[in-house]
Amino acid sequence: MKPLLEKYLPLSANSSSSSALHAERQKDHYSHFILRLAFASTEDLRRRFSRVETDDVRERQAFVESLNFDWEMVGEQEKRELGPELVAAGGGFVKRMDEESWFKVDWERVPELVETRKVLLKYGKAYVPGREQLSMVVAEFTSRLDKALEVCLLS
């Protein structure tokens, strides 16, 4: 599939300076909505389309896991113990604690989430809802970049 996609539907990274980036994204959007129409006719096709479209979520999760951040996933037992507090910390987005994955990190690693009260703070840890994972990636990237820049100064 990959050679065909690269030939007929090339997609440069969003940060690419390719002059064709806008046209590539436009083709991607067109193909998505054309496929939506094509797969809308039966329940089986709709399920198949949904499954394929959510593969991106799994790929993103695999990418984040490959970065080896030392984030601790909150286990089911701890979710049950902290259930009402996690739901309250969810800012109205989480109705039930089992609807969301949660990460546990030192609170100093996510200061912008602490500042905006999007996490539960307990025993020096921030319990971060999965929907805030992008904020955690950005904070971690910024921290690593800052350290790498400091090393450049020392060299």
Confidence of residue 145 (pLDDT cuts 50, 70, 90): confident
Q: CA-CA distances (angstroms) from residue 60 to 49, 57, 130? A: 18, 5, 12
Residue 155 placed within a domain:
no
Percent over 90 (pLDDT), the chain: 14
pLDDT in tens, 11-62: 666 555 666 767 777 787 788 788 888 888 888 888 888 877 766 666 777 7
Range of the domain at 128: 72-143
- Is 77 found in the same domain as 39? no
pTM exceeds 0.75 for this model: no
Residue 16 placed within a domain:
yes
Residue 49 placed within a domain:
yes
Total domains in the chain come to 2
- Is 45 found in the same domain as 78? no
Residue 60 placed within a domain:
no
Residue 148 placed within a domain:
no
pLDDT in tens, 86-103: 888 876 666 656 667 889
Residue 23 placed within a domain:
yes
β 102-106/120-122 pair status: unpaired
Report the chain's mean pLDDT, rounded to a whole number.
80
pLDDT score at 16: 55
Residue 78 placed within a domain:
yes
Residue 64 placed within a domain:
no
